[in-house]
Amino acid sequence: MAKLLAPAGTVEMAVGAIDEGADVVYVGPLGWSRRPSESELGDDDIRTVIDYATRAGKQTWVAMNTCPSTFEVEHFLSKVRDYAAWGAQGFVVTEVGAIARMRRMVPEAAVHVSIGGGITNRYDTAFYRALGADAIILPYRWGTEEIAAAQLTSNIALEVFLFETVQTGMICPGKCIMSSYLKFRDWLEVEKREDFHGSANRGSKECYRVCQTPWAFEAPDAEAMDIRLRRDARLMLEQIPAYIAHGVQYFKLSGRERPAPLIVDLVRFYRKVIDGVLHDGCRDMAEYADEMAVLRLRWVNEKRKRVDALMSRAGEAPDVQPCRAPC
C-alpha cells in the first residue's frame, strides 16, 4: 500500500498535513536534521507532534539525517532513544555507522535511509538492507526500470520524492558540504554543550542552495555566461500510477521550510491523486493537470524566494572561526 509522507517544519504544518491525509509526518530535531533552525523543532514540539499523530492513527518519523562525528555519536543515539520512547515510529538516517546500532537499540522502529545515503545503483539497496534498514529513498532521476531492478536485488521498501527530473545526470543530494565553505555557524549555545559543532552536513548549519544559485562562468576566448550547477526538480504527477504499479511504498513530499498552507494544500492534492490510483484505478492524470499547474507555480515561487533568502543569509552570517573543540 502506497503511503504519503509529509514534512513537519512546524507543529502547525504537522497538524495540517495529518488532518489532510498524510500517513506519516517527519520532523527534524534542532541541530540534527540538516535544515535551518526555523524548520527544525525542539523536543517539546516533537513530542506534541508525536502525540497528535498517534491519536489520529498516523506515524511520526524523526529525521536524524546528519553525520555525527565520533564525539557526537552517543548524544545522537540518546536522542533516538528518547524519541522512540515518546512514540516515534521511524527514523530517517544518513550515517552508515549509526544504522546497525539503531536497529539493535530500537528494534521496533523503522529505519529509513535518507537521500544523503547517496544511492547510485541497485546494489546499494542490498547493502543498506543488510545493515538493517527497512526502506530507502531513491534519487530523483530513477525511473521504473531502475525501480524494478532494485526490487530484484533487495526486498527493502522503496521510497521516492514527489519530484520529477528536469535535468539529466547523476546527483547525490545530501552529500554536499559546499555551504560550509561560505559560512560556519555553531549551535553550542542552543544545545548548551561544548562538543556540538558541525558542518553543513552534520546538522546545525544551513544549506545555502549553492548549486541553485547563478554563478558567473568565464573561459578564455569565450563569452561570459551565468550557469547553475543544478536545477531543482519539479513536483511530480504523471509518473505516480506507474510507480505505484511497480511497488513503490512511500511517496515523500519535501519542504519543511515552506509555508504551512502550501504544504497542507499539496498533501490534500496528493492524497486525492494517490487514492484515485489505489482505490479507483485511475491512470490518467490529465484530470489533475490544471490543479497541478497552479501548485507547481506556487512551489517554484516559494523556492525562488527561499534560495534568495538563504544566499543573502550566507553573506550576513559571522565569518568562520577556528574550531576550538573536536569537530
The hierarchical CATH code for the domain 3-206+233-316 is 3.20.20.380
Residues in the chain with pLDDT < 70?
36, 165-209, 211-212, 227-233, 306-327
Nearest residue to 185 via CA among 200, 173, 166, 165: 200
State the cell numbers at 232.
531543482
At residue 303, the pLDDT reads 76
Q: With 0.85 as the threshold, say if the pTM is over it.
A: no
Q: Concatenated DSSP letters for 253-311? A: ---TTS-HHHHHHHHHHHHHHHHHHHHH----GGGGHHHHHHHHHHHHHHHHHHHHHHH
At residue 196, the pLDDT reads 55
* Tens-place pLDDT, residues 8-37: 999 999 999 999 999 999 999 988 887 767
At residue 87, the pLDDT reads 97
* Tens-place pLDDT, residues 293-315: 999 999 988 877 766 666 666 55
**Which amino acid is present at 193?**
R
DSSP state of 212: G
Strands 135-137 and 110-113: parallel
Secondary structure E strands in 86-212: 90-93, 110-113, 135-137, 157-161, 163-164
Which residues contact residue 192 at a Cβ distance below 8 angstroms, ignoring those fewer than 6 apart?
Answer: none
